[in-house]
Amino acid sequence: MNVAVHIVDGPLQDAIKCRGANELAQRTTNVGATIVFEGVVRALEGERRLDALEYQAYEPMASQILTALARDILAKHGLISITVEHSRGRVAVGERSFRLAVHSAHRKEGLAATDEFIDRMKCDVPIWKLPVYS
């Protein structure tokens, strides 16, 4: 199984540099779909303006649960690989705080896996965001 999980300090780098995702797709001939979802910090939370979000992660539990979740989703949907990146610390408006790269043979299982992963992550993983208002 090909699962990679990274919790990094601050905002995530550009998707082109996504840790290992593009290299895996080039090495694996069965990849028919690569789905990359990026979470970006919005300028508004409700009616209030934000400067940033401050992410806190309970480690090493957050990494362990993200890894277990990725393995479960990978097996359930018959995926080729999953790469997860999540920020810890301050992430300003407009910057990326989360990235999920899913490689699958076909788009349908990749899209379903992406949706399920994000929903379950928000419920199960001990990572919290605190708004930093303007």
Domain range list for the chain? 2-133
Tell whether the model's pLDDT for residue 102 goes beyond 60: yes
Give 25-73 pLDDT, tens digit per residue: 556 678 999 999 999 999 999 999 999 999 999 999 999 999 999 999 9
Query: Do residues 82 and 70 make contact, with C-beta atoms less than 8 angstroms apart?
Result: yes
Query: Do residues 97 and 53 make contact, with C-beta atoms less than 8 angstroms apart?
Result: yes
Euclidean distance between CA atoms 19 and 40, whole angstroms:
18
Tell me the residue type at 110. Answer: G
- DSSP reduced 3-state for 47: coil
What integer pLDDT is reported at residue 11 of this predicted model? 98
- Bridge-based pairing state of the strands 2-9 and 81-92: parallel
* DSSP code per residue over 8-46: EESS---GGG-TTHHHHHHH-TT--EEEEEEEE--SEET
- DSSP reduced 3-state for 115: helix
Share of the chain above pLDDT 90, in %: 85
Q: Which fold has domain 2-133?
A: Aldehyde Oxidoreductase; domain 3 (3.90.1170)
**CA distances in angstroms from 71 to 44, 49, 74, listed in the order given:** 34, 37, 5
State pTM to two decimals.
0.89
